[in-house]
C-alpha cells in the first residue's frame, strides 16, 4: 500500500498501566499486535507524548521499546521517542533503544528550549551529536510554530542533510507555512519523508502535502486513519471526506476542538477502553484519573456517534 520507506501510517501508541502505576506488559503486547495487524500501518511509535513518556523512567522507556520490538519488530518499523534535555542523555536513550531493537528514534527537542529558546547552531548541533554518537535513524519532531522549540525552515533544511535523518514529523500547526515548507524540503531531500502529526488538521495537511501520518489518533482507530490517509494521498477527495466524516465525532470527543494534550490523550485512552480495545483507562501520575461524570459523558458521546461501547 505504501511502498516508500517512512511513509504511510505510524500510530503514536498509548501505554497501559495497572492500578499500581506499573506497566501492563500483557496489555501492551496485545495492543501492539492489534495495531501492527492493520493493513497500511507501516510502523509503531512508542514513548511519545501519547504514551505518557514524561512519566516513564528511562529503564521503563527501554522496556516499552523492547516489548514493541519483540512483538511486532518483524512486521513494522519500531520507533521510540527520545526526550532529553541534553545531547549526552539523548544519546544514552537512543543507544538503549537501539540495543533492544528499535529501528529509529523520534527525537524531541529539549524542553527547556520552549522557555529559553536556542541558537541555530545549538538546534542543528543537537541532531548532529545524536546522529554521530548513536548511529540510528532519526525522525525529527517538529513542535508548533508558537513555541521557541520549533525549527525554522532554514534549520530543517540543514537537518535533512544529515544521513541519519529519515523523516520529519511535521507539527508546525501553521497552515500558511505547510505547503511551502513541504515543497522546499522535498526539493532539497526527496528521500526524507514529511509526515503529518496534526491530528486536528490531518486531512488538510495530507491534501496540502505529506507522505503519511504519525498521529496518536492512529493508535486509537487505526483502521479509520489508514482509510483517511490512503484516500487523501491518492487524491480521492470523495473517499477522504467520507473517512473524515467517520473520524470527526471521535476527534471532537478526544480533542474538544483543541490540540493534542495530556488530557486529550486521557480522553482517548478512556474512549478506547470503553470500546473494548484497550485494557485500562488508568493514567500515570501526576495525571489524575477522569471523574466519573467525565467517563459517563464520553460513553454517551460514543453511543450518540454510533460506536459500540462494551465496557
pLDDT, residue 256, reads 86
> Is the pLDDT assigned to residue 225 strictly greater than 70?
yes
Percent of residues, the chain, with pLDDT higher than 70:
100
pLDDT, residue 261, reads 84
pLDDT, residue 258, reads 78
pLDDT, residue 260, reads 83
> Is the pLDDT assigned to residue 109 strictly greater than 70?
yes
Q: What are phi and psi of 77, to 5 degrees?
A: -65, 140
132, 136, 50, 51: which is closest to 101 by C-alpha?
136
Mean pLDDT of 11-37: 98
Confidence of residue 262 (pLDDT cuts 50, 70, 90): confident
> Is the pLDDT assigned to residue 4 strictly greater than 90?
no
37, 40, 73, 61: which is closest to 213 by C-alpha?
40
pLDDT, residue 102, reads 98
pLDDT, residue 269, reads 97
> Is the pLDDT assigned to residue 252 strictly greater than 80?
yes
> Is the pLDDT assigned to residue 3 strictly greater than 80?
no
> Is the pLDDT assigned to residue 249 strictly greater than 90?
yes
Length of the chain: 311
Who's near 22: CB < 8 A, 6+ residues apart?
none
Domains, the chain, in order of start with CATH, read 8-234 (3.20.20.70)
pLDDT, residue 1, reads 65
- How many CB atoms are located within 10 Å of the residue 84 CB? 20
> Is the pLDDT assigned to residue 2 strictly greater than 80?
no
Amino acid at each position: 500500500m505504501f511502498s516508500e520507506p517512512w511513509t504511510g501510517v505510524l500510530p503514536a501508541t498509548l501505554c497501559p498501566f495497572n492500578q499500581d502505576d506499573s506497566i501492563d506488559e500483557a496489555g501492551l503486547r496485545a495492543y501492539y499486535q492489534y495495531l501492527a495487524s492493520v493493513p497500511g500501518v507501516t510502523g509503531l511509535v512508542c514513548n511519545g507524548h501519547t504514551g505518557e513518556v514524561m512519566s516513564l523512567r528511562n529503564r521503563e522507556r527501554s522496556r516499552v521499546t523492547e516489548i514493541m520490538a519483540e512483538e511486532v519488530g518483524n512486521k513494522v518499523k519500531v520507533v521510540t521517542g527520545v526526550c532529553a534535555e541534553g545531547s549526552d542523555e539523548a544519546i544514552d536513550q537512543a543507544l538503549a533503544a537501539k540495543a533492544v531493537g528499535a529501528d529509529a528514534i523520534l527525537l524531541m527537542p529539549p524542553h527547556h528550549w520552549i522557555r529559553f529558546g536556542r541558537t541555530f547552531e545549538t538546534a542543528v548541533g543537537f541532531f548532529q551529536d545524536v546522529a554521530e554518537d548513536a548511529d540510528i535513524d532519526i525522525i525529527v519532531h517538529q513542535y508548533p510554530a508558537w513555541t521557541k522549540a520549533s525549527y525554522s525552515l532554514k534549520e530543517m533544511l540543514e537537518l535533512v542533510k544529515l544521513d541519519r535523518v529519515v523523516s520529519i514529523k511535521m507539527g508546525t500547526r501553521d497552515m500558511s507555512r505547510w505547503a511551502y515548507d513541504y515543497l522546499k524540503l522535498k526539493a532539497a531531500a526527496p528521500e526524507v519523508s514529511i509526515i503529518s502529526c496534526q491530528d486536528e488538521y490531518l486531512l488538510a495537511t495530507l491534501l496540502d502535502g505529506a507522505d503519511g501520518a504519525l498521529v496518536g489518533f492512529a493508535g486509537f482507530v487505526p483502521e479509520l486513519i489508514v482509510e483517511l490517509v490512503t484516500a487523501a494521498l491518492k487524491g480521492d477527495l470523495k473517499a477522504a471526506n467520507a473517512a473524515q466524516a467517520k473520524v470527526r465525532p471521535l476527534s471532537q470527543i478526544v480533542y474538544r476542538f483543541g490540540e493534542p494534550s495530556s488530557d486529550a490523550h486521557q480522553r482517548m485512552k478512556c474512549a478506547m477502553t470503553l470500546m473494548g480495545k484497550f485494557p485500562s483507562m488508568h493514567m500515570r501520575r501526576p495525571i489524575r484519573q477522569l471523574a466519573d461524570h467525565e467517563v459517563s459523558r464520553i460513553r454517551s458521546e460514543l453511543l450518540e456517534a454510533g460506536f459500540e461501547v462494551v465496557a
